């Protein structure tokens, strides 16, 4: 199922599922922050490396299921399927947008 997502979130998931972590840079602010698995990643280089490492470790795919938006904050639930125990799982992605790009992202169970 495909749901209509705002840009740059649609671009983020397309790049992530196609395993092109370097192309993620065009969807994030230069000083963006990502919080995932208890760690924080700041800036484009750190975010690109975070995605590259996660893809290498888990070989996952993500299917956005539904989202809500309030101003510049988007909360999205996605099904993540991978080689980890308990797969698939549903994770919540909370995006903060600024100037048409992702300023922050938090991923949690």
Domain boundaries, the chain: 9-108
Confidence of residue 106 (pLDDT cuts 50, 70, 90): very high
Helical (H) or strand (E) element with 33: strand 28-36
20 or 90, which is more confident: 90
pLDDT, residue 72, reads 96
**Alpha carbon distance 52, 25 (integer Å):** 12
- At residue 108's C-alpha, the angle toward residues 106 and 109, to 5°, is 165
Q: Which CATH architecture has domain 9-108?
A: Roll (3.10)
| pLDDT above 60 (res 78) | yes
Supply the DSSP symbol for 23: G
Q: What is the Cα Rg of the chain in Å? A: 13
| pTM of the entire predicted model | 0.93
pLDDT, residue 63, reads 95
| pLDDT above 90 (res 16) | no
């Amino acid at each position: 199922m495909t749901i209509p997502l705002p840009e740059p979130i649609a671009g983020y998931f397309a790049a992530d599922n196609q395993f092109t972590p370097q192309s993620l840079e065009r969807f994030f602010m230069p000083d963006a922050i990502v919080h995932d698995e208890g760690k924080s990643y700041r800036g484009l280089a750190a975010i690109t490396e975070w995605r590259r490492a996660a893809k290498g470790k888990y070989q996952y795919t993500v299917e956005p299921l539904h989202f809500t938006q309030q101003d510049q904050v988007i909360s999205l639930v996605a099904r993540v399927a991978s080689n980890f125990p308990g797969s698939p799982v549903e994770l919540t992605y909370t995006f903060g947008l600024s100037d048409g790009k992702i300023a922050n992202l938090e991923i949690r169970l």
